[in-house]
């Protein structure tokens, strides 16, 4: 069986398991701060996915949010790399019991191979094999059209606007846009750009497992992703992220980001630590 079909089945099975586990009490722990949560379901889902991959593809390299696989810095570009977030949008999972996703990006010899973002509670699997278009379940996603920022909805978490440095930069983008939305899962926000529901999404820091799956899907419909200074997103480190349709991505980059190069480079350096 091709890795693509195997991965698709694996993601759906992992989603079924999550729905079952949600019928029991959920254990919640904090990680880096009181608002950075992890649950037994995050861990059990990554265990399930990791162990299943290792049984079927023992040579695969894996990076997972909850600690499975290699440290990102030890990643070798050769061979197949799986980048896994078992539950993207853990706060939504805990507080809403919906609006979270399983995200998986698969790379082969450093090149994108396939992306999966499974909106578990809506039973919508967004998936793409590089070069073959993107789908939601069995329906193709259309190529996304360009838009002007002033006639666009953009995705941005309100929390960033209260921060001293990035808040000042993001404020200008929000004021230039038609309006802003915040759904609370980076993978689903990127997918919302791929679906044409948002023209862009931006955030000062994501880990590779937050964006790897969504980005491959987005690229298949003509959308683009980079860091906030237009540089490529790599799998070996956290990045600031700006995704969008081509026109609005370029407009935000040229009008609002490149002029803030010094501030953004300082933020990038801080966030890499």
Angstrom distance (rounded) from CA 224 to CA 240: 14
Interface with its own copies includes 60 (CB under 8 A)? no
- CB nearer to its own copies: pick between 61 and 192: 192
Interface with its own copies includes 161 (CB under 8 A)? yes
> Residue 66 is encoded by which pair of tokens?
């909850």
- CB nearer to its own copies: pick between 23 and 162: 162
Known binding residue 65? Answer is yes
- The closest alpha carbon to 8, from 128, 119, 122, belongs to 128
Q: Report in angstroms how near the CB of residue 152 gets to its own copies at its nearest.
A: 8
Binding to its own copies in span 69-108, by CB under 8 A? 91-92, 95-96, 98
Interface with its own copies includes 178 (CB under 8 A)? yes
64, 105, 112, 184: which one binds its own copies (CB under 8 A):
184
Known binding residue 47? Answer is no
Interface with its own copies includes 25 (CB under 8 A)? no
67, 78, 145, 182: which one binds its own copies (CB under 8 A):
182
Strand 28-30 and strand 37-39: the pairing is antiparallel
Interface with its own copies includes 162 (CB under 8 A)? yes
Measured N-to-C along each axis, helices 40-56 and 3-21 cross at an angle, to the nearest 10 degrees, of 150
Q: Report in angstroms how near the CB of residue 120 gets to its own copies at its nearest.
A: 15
- The closest alpha carbon to 172, from 255, 268, 258, 245, belongs to 255
Interface with its own copies includes 156 (CB under 8 A)? yes
The size of the chain, in residues, is 273
- Residue 261 C-beta-side C-alpha neighbours within 13 Å: 5
Q: Report in angstroms how near the CB of residue 49 gets to its own copies at its nearest.
A: 25
Interface with its own copies includes 157 (CB under 8 A)? yes
> Residue 153 is encoded by which pair of tokens?
């909805």
Angstrom distance (rounded) from CA 29 to CA 24: 16
- The closest alpha carbon to 246, from 222, 214, 212, 216, belongs to 222
What is the maximum span of the chain, computed from C-alpha positions, in angstroms? 51
Q: Within 10 A of 183 (CB to CB), how many other CB atoms are there?
A: 17
Known binding residue 87? Answer is yes
Q: Report in angstroms how near the CB of residue 92 gets to its own copies at its nearest.
A: 8
Q: What is the DSSP letter of 74?
A: G
Angstrom distance (rounded) from CA 171 to CA 177: 10
Q: Report in angstroms how near the CB of residue 207 gets to its own copies at its nearest.
A: 17
143, 183, 222, 229: which one binds its own copies (CB under 8 A):
183
Please report, in range form, the residues annotated as the binding site.
65, 85, 87-88, 210
Where is the binding site for Mg(2+), in residues?
65, 85, 87-88, 210
Residues engaged in binding its own copies (CB under 8 A)? 34-35, 91-92, 95-96, 98, 150, 152-153, 156-159, 161-162, 171, 174-175, 178-184, 197, 199
């Amino acid at each position: 069986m091709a890795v693509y079909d195997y991965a698709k089945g694996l993601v759906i099975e992992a989603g079924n398991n999550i729905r079952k586990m949600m019928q029991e009490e959920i254990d919640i722990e904090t990680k880096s701060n009181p608002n950075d949560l992890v649950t037994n379901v995050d861990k059990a889902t990554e265990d399930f996915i990791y162990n299943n991959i290792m049984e079927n593809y023992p040579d695969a390299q894996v990076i997972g949010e909850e600690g499975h696989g290699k440290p990102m810095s030890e990643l070798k570009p050769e061979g197949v790399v799986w980048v896994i977030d078992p539950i993207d949008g853990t706060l939504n999972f805990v507080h809403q019991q919906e609006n979270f996703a399983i995200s998986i990006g698969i790379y082969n010899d450093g090149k994108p191979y396939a992306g999966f973002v499974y909106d578990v509670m809506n039973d919508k699997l967004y998936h793409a094999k590089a070069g073959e278009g993107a789908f939601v379940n069995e329906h193709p996603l259309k190529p996304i059209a360009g838009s002007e920022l002033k006639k666009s909805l953009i995705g941005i978490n309100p929390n960033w606007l209260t921060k001293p440095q990035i808040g000042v930069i993001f404020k200008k983008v929000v004021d230039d846009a038609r309006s802003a939305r915040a759904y609370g899962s980076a993978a689903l926000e990127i997918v919302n750009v791929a679906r044409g529901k948002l023209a862009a999404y931006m955030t000062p820091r994501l880990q590779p497992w937050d964006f790897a799956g969504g980005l491959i899907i987005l690229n298949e419909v003509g959308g683009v992703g980079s860091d906030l200074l237009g540089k490529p997103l790599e799998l070996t480190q956290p990045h600031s992220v700006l995704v969008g349709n081509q026109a609005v991505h370029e407009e935000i980059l040229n009008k609002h980001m490149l002029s803030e190069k010094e501030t953004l480079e300082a933020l990038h350096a801080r966030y890499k630590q």
